[in-house]
Amino acid sequence: MVDREVHFPPRFNAVDMQASYIARLVPGSACDLARKPGCAVFFCSSRQMSDTLNRRHALKFMGAPLMLPLGGTAIASLLTGCGGGSDDDSKPAPDYVSASFVAMAAPSLAAPADMAKTLVNSTLMVKFSDDSTQGYSLSYAPFFTTGELVTDGKGGKILAGGYVDFAGKPIVDTSVAGKERQFFSDSPDGTTLRKLDNATVTGLKGNAVFAVVQFEYTTRAQDDKTDMYGKLPSPIAVLTLDQDPATGKLTLAKYHNVDTSPAMGLWITCGASLSPWGSHLSSEEYEPDAFTIASNTMFKDYSRNLFGDETKANPYHYGHLPEVTVNPDGTGTIKKHYCMGRISHELIQVMPDNRTAIMGDDATNGGFFMFVANTEKDLSAGTLYVAKFGPGFSLDPAAAGAPLTWIKLGSATSAEIKALADTLKPTDIMDVASTDPSDATFTKIWLSGKVQWVRVKAGMDKAAAFLETHRYAALKGGSMAFTKMEGTTVNVKDKVAYSALQNMQSSMVKGNAAYNADYNIGIDKALNAGGVLAHTLSTGQKDTTGTAINSDWVPSLTKTLLVGEDLATADALGNLANPDKIGAPDNLKFSEKLRTLFIGEDSSYHVNNFVWAYNIDTKVLSRIVSMPAGAEATGLGVTDDINGWTYITANFQHPGDWVASLHGKVQATLDPLVRANYNNRFGAQVGYLTGAITSVKLAKTVV
């Protein structure tokens, strides 16, 4: 065999679909490309080279969703629609071995249209036990654009991402006289995907698959100038998706708004995760400060839009963990867990024990929190901890890392904390001073970048732990030093959890006014591009009082996995961070079968935010998606197997949200394109990555 690299034509047509490939082959490999009307096939093998399509090694590119051929039928069934045959059909089909991504280049002004849309020019390469390799060209397929009227599954239409009040009535944007319309979100975020074995939705052509998607906020009113951030109650919806059994394609069949009144409405829902038992674990970030609520005009607007009364909303009802259960008929029910700490919940990740959860805290002077539930698959009661870091924190991935111990903050049920939230005022719980009271009964803490002095009222430790969690965790000695700890996820096989730090600034930087050396988390200078941390998960851990922690999934050591790179001066496009490295990581999801950590960006340092795939074994980082300029990558999720198909969900929010220091070189060119693509910047998309393949099942069979 002759070593070679094969470059496919940049626009190879298969069933009139556009696709492009660059396949890098292992030494000694050869490639076959076969095509007939309605079918295109790409196959690489180090064992044979043929001009004739081999049925057992075919790959059909039909614009179907990404699906990994992890079992034997992957090969055996690929030619269902292609025809052709082989004299080797009696042999067992090979098994999946590994996967890698061929990265795409970042878009540039050489093709402005590519910068103004979701661009996917990456390829997934899958290796099998017979040394064959198959390439999967990736693309993006939206379920909908917010602001569209979509099916409600009952013969009617409903506004995607539309806002409603506590009574379920539309909240109307009156900012342009004579053009009143219901508010809708431009910021879809956390998304999860699952199937139910007892689904009862009717009228589907294929299998029922259910997604839950939440909408974090909307950026502006339709007058294009009134700021609406945080002023509207976050909607959350269940999507019934019709899965084509032959191709795996997902089509929206029903959109259902979840009634959030049992949770007192939702506040700034950001990331989300799928619990091991199939529920949607939501989030409420940037919990409103109860001590300054009287002057918080954003919260007053929120209360007025939700309840019709700017004084009715209770700040202690927000900053918690909502959980949505999908019903077999495609509806959903919600409850809010008040016992998991009132923090800036980005999202949580529940471990395989169905009890232990680690939490991202999207704050300045944020902490690393853990919750251990009393009962499996039930987050309504348990114990809350905050991490205390030992020496050794470093941005160097080769460093030994920092050991962790855990401070118990308290144990409670959701019901008892809800009762406290209903009745207590902040001054019932603790005293807070912004200047030194010269009183030894107060403790100096750092909160949101500023110094405060706090003292818990007698008998109020439980209320403080669960309703004033940031202040109480700092008082108890937690390492409250992180800036914007965002996504969390877990690598079960290696017992490693990952956390994204969007930025490493202020409270993490030595000498900064928000820095406290006692927290043992310090860097010499800010790293705006952020990074990803890796936490070793251990059994047999004890809290700082010597009491055993009832979990085998406790973070015990933290190291740095990946970091971005700030640029001293902007590059030719305007990037303020190296576009070939991660920049302000936010969403994190790990795929066990792909052995890949997926990373989505929320960056004010990359002109286009990207989604990356980092192979944990090979240490290769690959750019796989570019979002529209000015948009944040959100809704990242990986579901390894739904009826034999693997899906990667991906959304974006607020396209064309221009930052002068970042987008000054591109805004004039890209703004009209973004406006044309996404409803004058008011629309954003919810969708998923697709691959070009036909149906494949995971179970190994012999053909």
**Given a cut of 90, is residue 5 above it in pLDDT?**
no
Given a cut of 60, whether residue 230 has pLDDT beyond it is: yes
The H-or-E segment that residue 676 falls in is helix 667-677
Give the pLDDT score at 93. 81
Q: Cβ-count burial of 228 within 10 angstroms (0-12 exposed, 13-18 middle, 19+ buried)?
A: buried
- Token pair 């899965």 in the structure block, residue: 243
Query: For residue 71, what pLDDT is reported?
Result: 36
Q: What mean pLDDT comes out for the span 498-504?
A: 96
| pLDDT tens track for 35-92 | 333 333 344 443 332 332 232 232 333 234 444 333 333 333 332 333 333 445 567 7
User: What does the CA dihedral 9, 15, 16, 22 come to, rounded to 10 degrees?
Assistant: -20
Measure the CA–CA gap between 122 and 137, rounded to whole angstroms.
6
Q: Is the pLDDT of residue 99 over 80?
A: yes
Looking at residue 18, its pLDDT comes to: 31
Weakest mean pLDDT among 54-63, 159-168, 464-473, 685-694: 54-63
pLDDT for residue 135: 85
| Model confidence at 418: pLDDT above 90 | yes
**Closest to 678 measured CA to CA, from 650, 662, 657, 661:** 657
- The arithmetic mean of pLDDT across residues 634-663, rounded, is 95
For 443, the 3-state DSSP assignment is strand
Contact 297, 359 (CB under 8 A): no
User: Does the pLDDT of residue 492 top 80, yes or no?
Assistant: yes
Specify the pLDDT at position 692. 56
pLDDT of residue 11: 33
φ, ψ of residue 579 to 5 degrees: the values are -75, -10
Q: Is the pTM of this model over 0.85?
A: yes
Q: What are phi and psi of 563, to 5 degrees?
A: -135, 155
CA 431-348-628 angle, to 5 degrees, is 110
Which residues, 6+ apart, have CB-to-CB distance to 105 below 8 Å? 121, 623
| Res. 9: pLDDT tops 80 | no
pLDDT value of position 88: 53
Does the pLDDT of residue 466 top 80, yes or no? yes
605-621 mean pLDDT: 98
